[in-house]
């Protein structure tokens, strides 16, 4: 018998990333660690090449191997593809060694048909879920495989509604046979390697066209099969505070990303521990394994199906800037990473954010005069002005202005640039106003309510873009001091030791004269303005001590290091030390 | 008044303050034609300018407000265009959510400003932008079937998207440049003015 051209990820081997792509590799790695993951098989990258170089049809021999792969998923899961009574549903994912725009991403729930929908309704006792799963599948298949022009999925449609919309737009019918669904999705993934966008991306980044993408086919597990099922996310440490305690959310009866019908509320890990102590203990054990293996905090997606735990995905957890510092320090204490690794795990921007002055909310006498959605973080204080032209004029005259608008149009952008903060009556955190203020870094609060902005005109305002509040008058601010925080202070010691540049807050102790780049005409100008690199190099030559806004940029710090500058004067010092360390290490 | 004069002041109103070159780029016409139009409009006191930068004067704003329902009477009755506009609003919702995801990144249970150090995360967003751009192409194409000059926005969106693909990340949502968001925001304003709708945000 010839060797199969598809690879069963069964934990006995781990083919290289170059062969099977990142996603399949990550699934394979969890399996090799002995963790339970829904069974999967993968068509390696070489098959994409073979497919594209031939007539763009899956040849019979490969298709036979795919069917063997499905049989493998059936034997492990105990379900059958297309069987209404015990249906196997699968996901299909692309996986190039380097991910790129234009590649087809993921289609879920392949294998659902009218009969399977009816079977799922019986099995779960939840016809609404069965209908929704079928409709979502059709929407995703139409959207991703057929590129149909569909609106964002909204609950309420039936699968047949969506089939009609897809047919109207593309003249293509979504396959009703599970195996045809699978064949179509696999071909679409392969074809997407040659999509115009993917080609454009590769051209821009010098990636060869000759590569390809793998296809991972994986069994789906169900978080909605009764009381002993559900889905959740676990962070191996608290992503907000950084405390070394697992933090998670658990949705009993939930399936995938969906909060089924909104009838279930998200619960914490203690609830899971009480209801299913074994699954909980297993999850804790596995999460420790994954964190140790990756040497980094993990964000783990899991599903429990009738009491049985499955891991779906693990990745490095996103965390708050404050948590990033604490976690890096504690991983050093635990012997997982070195101090040198720790200082490059936290970016200068994260430390900058941690050290920003905060609003002193200890004074409870102050009540906000307006509240809405926080759209861009930060705190700023100024006079409320409604007219953007007036805001621009008064700001040019040196006043700090808070632009207060009913809504925002492109006609207001100059006023937003001139203002120190922005408040709007209408809109949410994804409004144009929110997008513009974030791009500008202006603290903003949106959606404070109809007519409220006008009432703020002429008042001295403090805008709290973190909490979403507006206060009257100038609110007191508190400095964050490195020495007050046990993790930050140890982190700062390491950074000071490792930094190739000595950064100090004041020049009084220095014997040399301080060269001020801003005064010499090398300041940070408007966005996009270019500093003359040669001129900068000449200006810095032979200088021992330098200050200036440009030193917080990569270009400025690099030039100073190259020129052999000994001291940089700046406050706070920590972000610049981290920047210097990263530049020295080519990060 | 000649059509080009009306279009020139309309284009200027969308941009707020601009030189003839930028307005010509927005409308897809010759710069000389816009310069001549601004001269004529300046004499009527409808636009004001200094050192090559122009703005719509208050009288010009009032005049435009009177003109829109007349000039775009047919457009406002055009079922195909208003249907395309409804679709535009839906793509708009998705695009604004995408810009938000671009600018902020999940940090535990909250979101913090995206410092763009996570290339994988950014690539995912650029990927979504590619998909939405395909939707945008269709919806702007439909709008342009009723008002041909709107296809100029398509070229500008395409140009912003190409710059993003080439690694110029400011072109997703940067403010002082013709980023994807800047162009989309202007297109939104243009459509609102044409159709006499009010902004809901």
CA distance A94 to A217: 9
Local structure of residue A258 (DSSP, 8 states): B
CA B86 to chain centre: 16
Q: Name the pLDDT band for A97 (thresholds 50, 70, 90).
A: confident
CA distance A49 to A193: 9
Q: Residue A545 — φ and ψ, nearest 5°? A: -135, 135
Tell me whether A549 touches chain B (CB under 8 Å): no
Query: In this structure, is residue A124 part of a structural domain?
Result: no
Average pLDDT rounded to a whole number, residues A212-226:
91
| A387 to A462, B86, B190: CA distances (angstroms) | 19, 30, 21
CA distance A302 to A312: 5
CA distance A69 to A585: 45
pLDDT at A217: 97
Residue A262 has pLDDT above 80, yes or no: no
pTM confidence score = 0.79
Verify that A184 and A197 share a domain, yes or no: yes
Q: Tell me the residue ranges of DSSP E strands in A29-162.
A: 40-43, 80-81, 87-88, 90-96, 106-110
Verify that A474 and A376 share a domain, yes or no: yes
What's the pLDDT tens digit per position in A143-164? 889 988 887 787 788 999 999 9
Of the candidates B13, B112, B181, the beta carbon closest to that of A321 is on: B112
- Is A406:A504 a contact under the CB 8 Å cutoff? no
pLDDT at A335: 93
Decide if B165 and A238 are in contact by the 8 Å CB cutoff: no
- Is A522:A359 a contact under the CB 8 Å cutoff? no
Query: In this structure, is residue A269 part of a structural domain?
Result: yes
Verify that A367 and A437 share a domain, yes or no: yes
What's the pLDDT tens digit per position in A428-453? 888 888 999 998 889 999 999 999 99
Verify that A504 and A557 share a domain, yes or no: yes
- Is A48:A188 a contact under the CB 8 Å cutoff? no
Q: CB under 8 Å to A416, separation ≥6 — which residues?
A: A388, A403, A408, A422, A433, A436, A437, A440, A442, B175
The domain that contains A284 carries what CATH number? Answer: 3.30.470.20
If phi over 0 gives left and psi between -120 and 50 gives alpha, with beta otherwise, what is residue A208?
beta
Q: Residue A372 — φ and ψ, nearest 5°? A: -155, -150
What residues of B are in contact with residue A530 (Cβ under 8 Å)?
A: none
- What number of other Cβ atoms are within 10 A of residue A150's Cβ? 19
Q: Residue B33 — φ and ψ, nearest 5°? A: -60, -40
Average pLDDT rounded to a whole number, residues A240-252:
90
Specify the number of domains making up chain A.
5
* CATH fold of the domain at B3-71: Arc Repressor Mutant, subunit A (1.10.10)
Verify that A341 and A213 share a domain, yes or no: no
What residues of B are in contact with residue A240 (Cβ under 8 Å)?
A: 107-110
The domain that contains A445 carries what CATH number? Answer: 3.50.30.10
Average pLDDT of chain B, as a whole number: 91
Verify that A22 and A43 share a domain, yes or no: yes
Verify that A193 and A242 share a domain, yes or no: no
pLDDT at A349: 86
- Is A528:A522 a contact under the CB 8 Å cutoff? no
Of the candidates A429, A438, A527, the beta carbon closest to that of B176 is on: A527
User: The complex's ipTM?
Assistant: 0.83
Tell me whether B15 touches chain A (CB under 8 Å): yes
pLDDT at A525: 55
- Least confidently predicted of A18-32, A115-129, A373-387, B114-128: B114-128
pLDDT at A261: 35
Q: Residue A458 is part of which domain span?
A: 358-478
| B25 to A98, B19, B36, B123, B150: CA distances (angstroms) | 37, 10, 15, 30, 11
Q: Which residue of B lies nearest to A413 if distances are taken between CA atoms?
A: B175
Average pLDDT rounded to a whole number, residues A93-112:
85
Which B residues, 21 through 40, put their C-beta within 8 Å of a C-beta on chain A?
none
CA distance A182 to A166: 18
| B45 to A137, B12, B60: CA distances (angstroms) | 59, 14, 7
Tell me whether strands A90-96 and A213-219 are parallel, antiparallel or unpaired: antiparallel
Local structure of residue B110 (DSSP, 8 states): E
Verify that A368 and A454 share a domain, yes or no: yes
- Is A306:A317 a contact under the CB 8 Å cutoff? no
Q: CB under 8 Å to B11, separation ≥6 — which residues?
A: B18, B23, B26, B27, B34
What residues of B are in contact with residue A320 (Cβ under 8 Å)?
A: 107-108, 110, 112
Decide if B200 and A426 are in contact by the 8 Å CB cutoff: yes
Residue A88 has pLDDT above 70, yes or no: yes
Query: In this structure, is residue A151 part of a structural domain?
Result: no
Query: In this structure, is residue A172 part of a structural domain?
Result: no
Query: In this structure, is residue A514 part of a structural domain?
Result: yes
CA distance A107 to A140: 6
Q: Name the pLDDT band for A307 (thresholds 50, 70, 90).
A: very high
Cα torsion A256, A257, A259, A261: sign: negative
Query: In this structure, is residue A120 part of a structural domain?
Result: no
Length of chain A measured in residues: 587
Query: In this structure, is residue A349 part of a structural domain?
Result: yes
Beta bridge partners of A562: none
Verify that A570 and A505 share a domain, yes or no: yes
Residue B201 has pLDDT above 70, yes or no: no
- What number of other Cβ atoms are within 10 A of residue A457's Cβ? 15
CA distance A203 to A225: 47
Decide if B174 and A527 are in contact by the 8 Å CB cutoff: yes
Q: Which residue of B lies nearest to A102 if distances are taken between CA atoms?
A: B127
Decide if B113 and A438 are in contact by the 8 Å CB cutoff: yes
Verify that A190 and A92 share a domain, yes or no: yes
pLDDT at A260: 33
pLDDT at A2: 61
Tell me whether A427 touches chain B (CB under 8 Å): yes
CA distance A443 to B30: 40
Decide if B110 and A240 are in contact by the 8 Å CB cutoff: yes
| B188 to A90, A359, B12, B132, B193: CA distances (angstroms) | 40, 36, 14, 16, 9
CA distance A519 to A516: 6
Helix (H) / strand (E) element for A30: namely helix A17-32
- Is A344:A582 a contact under the CB 8 Å cutoff? yes
Which B residues, 98 through 137, put their C-beta within 8 Å of a C-beta on chain A?
99-100, 103-110, 112-113, 115, 117-118, 120, 123-124, 126-127, 129-130, 134-135
Beta bridge partners of A249: A233
Tell me whether B173 touches chain A (CB under 8 Å): yes
Verify that A273 and A185 share a domain, yes or no: no
Query: In this structure, is residue A365 part of a structural domain?
Result: yes
Residue B50 has pLDDT above 60, yes or no: yes
Q: Name the pLDDT band for A259 (thresholds 50, 70, 90).
A: very low
Average pLDDT of chain A, as a whole number: 90
- Is A145:A188 a contact under the CB 8 Å cutoff? yes
CA distance A125 to B135: 37
Any alpha helices (H) in chain B, and if so which ranges?
3-15, 20-27, 31-43, 58-71, 73-77, 79-103, 119-146, 151-165, 180-195
CA distance A411 to A389: 9
Closest CA to B150 of B28, B35, B16: B28
Q: Name the pLDDT band for A300 (thresholds 50, 70, 90).
A: very high
Peptide bond into A241 cis (omega under 30): no
Verify that A297 and A401 share a domain, yes or no: no
Q: Name the pLDDT band for A511 (thresholds 50, 70, 90).
A: confident
Q: Is A232 helix (H, G, I), strand (E, B) or coil?
A: strand
Average pLDDT rounded to a whole number, residues A323-328:
95
What's the pLDDT tens digit per position in B54-84? 999 999 999 999 999 999 999 999 999 999 9
């Amino acid at each position: 018998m010839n060797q199969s051209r598809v690879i069963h990820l069964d934990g006995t081997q781990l083919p290289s990333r170059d062969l099977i792509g990142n996603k399949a590799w990550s699934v394979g790695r969890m399996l090799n660690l002995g963790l339970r993951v829904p069974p999967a098989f993968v068509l390696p990258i070489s098959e994409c090449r073979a497919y594209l170089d031939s007539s763009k049809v899956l040849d019979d021999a490969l298709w036979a191997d795919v069917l063997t792969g499905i049989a493998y998923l059936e034997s492990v899961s105990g379900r059958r593809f297309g069987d209404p009574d015990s249906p196997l549903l699968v996901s299909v994912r692309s996986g190039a060694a380097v991910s790129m725009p234009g590649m087809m991403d993921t289609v879920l729930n392949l294998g659902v048909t009218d009969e399977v929908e009816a079977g799922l309704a019986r099995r779960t006792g939840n016809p609404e879920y069965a209908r929704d799963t079928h409709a979502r599948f059709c929407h995703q298949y139409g959207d991703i495989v057929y590129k149909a022009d569909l609106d964002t999925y909204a609950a309420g449609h039936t699968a047949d509604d969506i089939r009609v919309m897809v047919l109207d737009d593309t003249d293509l019918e979504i396959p009703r046979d599970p195996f045809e669904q699978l064949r179509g999705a696999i071909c679409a993934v392969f074809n997407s390697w040659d999509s115009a966008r993917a080609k454009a991306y590769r051209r821009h980044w010098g990636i060869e066209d000759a590569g390809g993408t793998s296809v991972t086919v994986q069994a789906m597990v169900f978080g909605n099969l009764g009381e002993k099922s559900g889905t959740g996310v676990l962070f191996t440490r608290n992503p907000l505070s950084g405390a070394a305690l697992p933090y998670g959310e658990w949705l009993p009866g939930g399936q995938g990303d969906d909060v089924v019908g909104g009838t279930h509320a998200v619960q914490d890990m203690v609830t899971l521990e009480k209801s299913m102590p074994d699954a909980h203990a297993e999850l804790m054990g596995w999460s420790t394994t994954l964190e140790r293996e990756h040497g980094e905090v993990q964000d783990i997606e899991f599903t429990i199906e009738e009491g049985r735990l499955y891991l779906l995905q693990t990745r490095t957890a996103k965390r708050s800037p404050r948590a990033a510092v604490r976690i890096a320090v504690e991983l050093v204490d635990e012997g997982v990473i070195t101090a040198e690794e720790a200082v490059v795990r936290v970016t200068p921007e994260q430390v900058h954010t941690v050290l920003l002055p905060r609003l002193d909310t200890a004074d409870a006498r102050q009540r906000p005069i307006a509240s809405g959605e926080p759209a861009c973080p930060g705190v700023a204080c100024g006079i409320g002005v409604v007219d953007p032209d007036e805001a621009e004029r008064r700001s040019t005259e040196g006043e700090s202005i808070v632009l207060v608008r009913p809504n925002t149009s492109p006609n207001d952008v100059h006023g937003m640039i001139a203002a120190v903060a922005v408040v709007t009556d209408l809109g949410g955190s994804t409004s144009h106003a929110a997008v513009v203020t974030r791009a500008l870094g202006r603290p903003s609060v949106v959606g404070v309510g109809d007519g409220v902005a006008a009432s703020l005109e002429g008042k001295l305002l403090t805008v709290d873009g973190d909490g979403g509040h507006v206060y009257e008058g100038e609110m007191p601010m508190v400095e964050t001091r490195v020495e007050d925080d046990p993790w930050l202070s140890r982190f700062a010691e390491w950074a000071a030791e490792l930094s190739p540049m000595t950064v100090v807050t004041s020049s009084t102790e220095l014997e040399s004269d301080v060269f001020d780049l801003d005064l010499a005409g090398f300041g940070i100008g408007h966005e996009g303005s270019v500093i003359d690199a040669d001129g900068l190099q000449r200006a810095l030559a032979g200088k021992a001590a330098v200050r200036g806004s440009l030193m917080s940029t990569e270009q400025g710090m690099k030039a100073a290091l190259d020129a052999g500058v000994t001291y940089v004067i700046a406050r706070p010092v920590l972000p610049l030390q981290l920047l210097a360390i990263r530049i020295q290490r080519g990060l | 008044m000649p059509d080009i004069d009306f279009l020139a002041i309309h284009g200027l109103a969308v941009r707020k303050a601009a030189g003839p070159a930028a307005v010509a780029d927005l409308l897809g016409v010759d710069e000389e034609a816009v310069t001549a139009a601004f001269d004529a409009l300046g004499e009527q006191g409808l636009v004001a300018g200094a050192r090559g930068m122009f703005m719509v004067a208050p009288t010009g704003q009032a005049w435009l407000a009177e003109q829109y329902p007349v000039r775009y009477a047919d457009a406002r009755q055009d079922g195909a265009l208003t249907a395309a506009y409804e679709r535009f609003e839906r793509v708009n919702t998705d695009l604004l959510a995408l810009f938000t995801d671009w600018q902020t990144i999940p940090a535990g249970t909250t979101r913090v400003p995206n410092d763009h150090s996570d290339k994988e995360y950014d690539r995912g967003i650029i990927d979504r932008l590619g998909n939405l751009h395909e939707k945008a192409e269709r919806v702007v194409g439909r709008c342009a079937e009723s008002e041909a000059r709107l296809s100029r926005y398509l070229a500008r969106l395409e140009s912003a998207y190409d710059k993003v693909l080439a690694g110029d990340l400011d072109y997703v949502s940067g403010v002082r440049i013709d980023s994807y968001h800047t162009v989309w925001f202007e297109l939104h304003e243009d459509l609102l003015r044409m159709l006499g709708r009010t902004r809901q945000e």
